[in-house]
Amino acid sequence: DRLPYADQLERERQVLSRLMVRYPREIEPYDLSISAALEYQLIHPELLANLQQEYRSRATGHPDDPLALYIAADALYRTNTPESIRLLERAQSLAPSFPWPTLKLAQIYNDGKFADKAKFNDQLTKFWTACPASQDQRAQWLLVKNLELQKKVAASLRPMLAKSNDPGRLKDYEFLWSLEFRTTSPKEFPALRQQVAAD
C-alpha cells in the first residue's frame, strides 16, 4: 500500500504473471489479472486490450481447451459480449461439468442488453447444481435473484457444513443462515433462530 500507484500496478502484474506460470491451469490468477485491468481501465486502457489480445490468441490456438476459451471470454466480457458468449458456449459444450463458463453466462444474462431471465435461471441452476457449496461471491450474489434455487442450495449446503470439520468453511454458515432466513416464513423464525444458536 505504501508503494506509488505505478509501482503497485507493476508489482501486482509481476505477482500474477508468476502465479500464471507456476499454476497455468488455475483460473484465479487470470481472473485477478482481468479484474485489475478493468479497475485501471480509465487510466491504462492498454492493459485490458493487451490481455484481450493475448487470451484471444491463446483461445484461437487452443480451440478445444475449455480453460483457454473461458479466460478469453472473461477478458472480452463487456467489450465484445457476443464473442464472449460464443466462447463460453463452446467451452460448455467441450466440458459440461466445468462450472465457470456457466457462472459467467449467468452473469451475462443477468442484466443489460443481453438480459434473459430464462437463460439466467438455467445457467445459475446449472452452476449451483455443480457447485452446491460454492464460496464464489459473484455466484452468491446472483443467487439472491432466484428464491427457489436459494431453498435448494440451503437444503444441500446444511448437511455438507454439518459434516465438515474444516475451519475455513465456518464462514459459510453466515451464507447458509442468510439463505434460510430469506426462504423461510417469518412465523418460523423462532425455530430458525434456535437452529442458528445450535450451529
Per-residue tens of pLDDT for the chain, all 199 residues: 788 877 888 899 899 999 999 999 999 999 999 999 998 888 888 999 999 999 999 999 999 999 999 999 999 999 999 999 999 999 999 999 999 999 999 999 998 999 999 999 999 999 999 999 899 999 999 999 999 999 999 999 999 999 998 998 898 999 999 999 999 999 999 999 999 999 9
In this predicted structure, what is the pLDDT of residue 50? 94
What is the rounded (10 degree) CA torsion for 135, 141, 145, 148? Answer: 20
Rounded to an integer, what is the distance from CA 76 to the centroid of its chain?
15
In this predicted structure, what is the pLDDT of residue 179? 96
Rounded to an integer, what is the distance from CA 125 to the centroid of its chain?
14
Distance CA 48, CA 50 (A): 5
In this predicted structure, what is the pLDDT of residue 7? 86
In this predicted structure, what is the pLDDT of residue 136? 93
N-term to C-term CA, the chain: 38
Residues 6+ apart with CB under 8 A from 128: 134, 139, 143, 149, 152, 153
In this predicted structure, what is the pLDDT of residue 19? 97
Q: What is the pTM of this model?
A: 0.89
In this predicted structure, what is the pLDDT of residue 1? 78
Amino acid at 60: T
